Copies of this chain bind each other. A is one copy, B any other.
């Protein structure tokens, strides 16, 4: 039995998220079907975590157990030939039996992108949220700075979260101003359901002057989802990369 790890990128636009669910049409379903065509095995892949419907990934990580004799370096080409053009495997390697893409993950980085052009850029419309009103970038940076560290993020999680603990650590959170775009990058040891989208939605509200950055500590302390800003739309969010101890 081999333990195979893959790094996968996908355009999440037309999928119901990464993880298998009753309504079907998930990235996981498509990948498992493609593996089955290759190996004739009923394989269950383990992703580093879910991504919501409409959310994208540049470096999602998954692993699975297989009896296939396909060498690790041949997997990437073989599976890409059996995948739709909006899901691409970037790398495959064989890892030790202990590797588990979710449990072993140490840090994840997400990117949330806002299109600040007066009219939306047609070429990136599926990967950004259009927001042309002026945004106070300095206040948005204050929001991100106030979230860095170990906190109970209940106020920044969907009430549907089923996690036993809502304590997570954000290592880095920054906002980069680009040409017609703002990018929020957040790195943490793990993220709750909708957490990055609520962080982005809150930063946008503060940028618009609808909330104040100085209230973030009180919002965290309240452990009340209704105190934070809205959940920003999924299409602006991309899972950039997942880091493991090496």
Contact = CB atoms under 8 A, between A and B. Distances in A.
A56 B125 contact: no
A90 interface: yes
A88 interface: yes
A89 interface: yes
Interface in A189-234: none
Interface stretch (A28-36, A42-50, A63-71, A79-87): A79-87
A112 to B, nearest CB: 15
A118 B76 CA distance: 10
A57 to B, nearest CB: 9
A120 B76 contact: no
A11 B119 contact: no
A90 B76 contact: no
A88 B119 contact: yes
A9 B121 CA distance: 8
A119 B76 contact: yes
A56 B86 contact: no
B88 A9 contact: no
8 contacts: A9-B121, A11-B123, A76-B119, A80-B119, A85-B120, A88-B120, A88-B121, A123-B127
Interface of A: 9-11, 56, 76, 80, 85-90, 118-125, 127
Given A76-B119, A86-B125, A89-B119, 5 more contacts: A56-B122, A80-B119, A85-B125, A87-B122, A88-B122
